[in-house]
Amino acid sequence: MPAAPTIGAIVDFTDGISLLINPLTLNDPILGVLGTGQLGGQAANYVDIAPIIKDVRIRRGRNRILQKFEAGTATVDIYDQNGDWNPSNPNSPYAGSLIPLRKIQIYADYNGSRYSLFTGFITNYVTNFVLGTEEVSRVTFQCVDAFRLLNGALITTVTGGSAGQLSGARVEKILDQVNYPSGLRDIDAGNTTLQADPGTSRNALQALRTVEDSELGGFYIDAEGRATFVSRGVITQSLGSVAYTFADDGSGIAYQQASVNLDVDQLLNDVTVKRSGGTAQKVIDQPSIDTYFTHSGIREDVLMQTDQVALDMANMILSTRSDVETRIDSIQLNLEDGDDVNRCVAGLESELLDAVTVTKTMPGNSSVTQTLLIQGINHDFTNRKMTTTIFTGESLVAGFLLDSATQGILGTNALSY
């Protein structure tokens, strides 16, 4: 039977954004396999810190209320008995290399495979000096993903950001502008054609979020450090083919905790979308307003080319947000039992915007089953627990999918634009 996942991390001291993921390591049961471990293109300057890791915490995902992906963060606590990871120690084997924004990738080895959980940059080395003899001193790495770099890169004109360009191509041009490596991108073509780039002064992350909002898609940094853009069409299709099915009644992968809510936090019954240079397109759901009062939302300065597309977006948002229903907000997976292969793999492999189905048995002999998007992923690996929490939410976009049991119901599923 498989053992529980083993947590590790690679610190890469080389300059640049690209990290040597899965460096080929002789005699390693995972990285020593041809076709798995990678041959480095430059002299190796990395270290695997798995043997000295104490705790790991990872936070990645979207702000549920603001509907914005935020920078992924991680903290890694390590034992540092000899002061090797003290930036002020001139005798450290890493002396001179312990500077901010060195690359790190956190991984889990499980059942013969390696799963990337977070890729980013160390921003702080916090040394914890322990008095007494019961513990060794520790160092905490505070880490953030490439959103930090995109947020710090000021741009004006985007070269090649011409009118009529699909949203995915615009994302590529913005990433080109800040020299984000082409090998660290996973960009959908997109479904929305855009106006020319406005050429205003902003940072690269702001420019990318404008494209994200114009598409009604998603932009984030994935677990392997890839700048990832997901179109609304791909999101719609994914809702008809879920990555994982979770359930507490034996019909899917078992989970240990669930948070179920009924509120108006995401309710929108008065929606306005105004494209740059266009006329505001406003739609309302009067029955929803009569029941829940007015809940307004506005999306401004988006870059679709016509007011009709802005109106289509407003109607789409209204159709998915104008009613209130019981919402499964999160589930927690216990990964300490390595024998449950399906649960461990789901906890280690799930990615943002994957579609999942969750069933929760409720009091009073009832149950709730929902097809949702993963909006956030937390990993907490300590000497006391090994859990993954998956935060879920209803998609802003929906569509009618032929032959789908959940998205192919006439009179229920909206037609996408």
Which CB contacts under 8 angstroms, 24+ apart, belong to 22-26? 22/114
Burial (Cβ within 10 Å: 0-12, 13-18, ≥19) of residue 27 = exposed
Interatomic CA distance for residues 2 and 386, integer angstroms = 15
| Inside any domain, residue 406 | no
Q: Would the pLDDT of 360 be above 70? A: yes
| Inside any domain, residue 379 | yes
| Inside any domain, residue 50 | yes
Amino acid at 283: V
Domain that includes residue 48, residue range: 6-145
| Inside any domain, residue 401 | no
Q: How confident is the model at residue 42 (pLDDT cuts 50, 70, 90)?
A: very low
Same domain, 344 and 306: no
Among 179, 211, 230, identify where a domain stops: 230
Same domain, 176 and 49: no
**Across-strand partners of 283?**
271
Q: Which of 41-50, 83-92, 259-268, 329-338 has the lowest mean pLDDT?
A: 41-50
Give pLDDT tens digits for 361-406: 999 889 999 999 999 999 999 988 999 999 999 998 885 434 445 5
Q: Would the pLDDT of 75 be above 60? A: yes
| Inside any domain, residue 399 | no
Q: Once rounded to an integer, what is the mean pLDDT over residues 11-32? A: 68
Same domain, 316 and 330: no
Q: What are phi and psi of 205, to 5 degrees?
A: -65, -40
Strand ranges across the sheet with 218-221 = 185-187, 227-230, 218-221
The pLDDT of residue 27: 58
Structure tokens at 395: 């998609």
Whole-number average pLDDT of the chain: 90
Same domain, 249 and 385: yes
| Inside any domain, residue 284 | yes
Task: Report which of 1, 50, 56 is spatially closest to residue 338, judged by C-alpha positions.
Answer: 1
What CATH number is attached to the domain comprising 251? 2.40.30
Same domain, 122 and 64: yes
| Inside any domain, residue 416 | no
Same domain, 185 and 284: no
Q: Where are the alpha helices (DSSP H) in 218-285?
A: 232-238
DSSP state of 33: S
Same domain, 137 and 195: no
Q: Which of 68-77, 196-205, 405-414 has the lowest mean pLDDT?
A: 405-414
Instruction: State the pTM of this model.
Output: 0.91
H or E stretch covering 167: helix 167-177
Q: How confident is the model at residue 307 (pLDDT cuts 50, 70, 90)?
A: very high
Same domain, 168 and 307: no
Give pLDDT tens digits for 214-233: 999 999 999 999 999 999 99
Task: Report which of 391, 383, 283 is spatially closest to residue 79, judged by C-alpha positions.
Answer: 383
Structure tokens at 266: 């995401």
Same domain, 125 and 216: no
- Report the domain count for the chain: 4
| Inside any domain, residue 288 | yes
Work out whether strand 296-302 and strand 270-275 pair parallel, antiparallel, or are unpaired: parallel
Same domain, 69 and 56: yes
Same domain, 27 and 74: yes
Same domain, 313 and 376: no
The pLDDT of residue 417: 81
Q: What are phi and psi of 290, to 5 degrees?
A: -60, -35
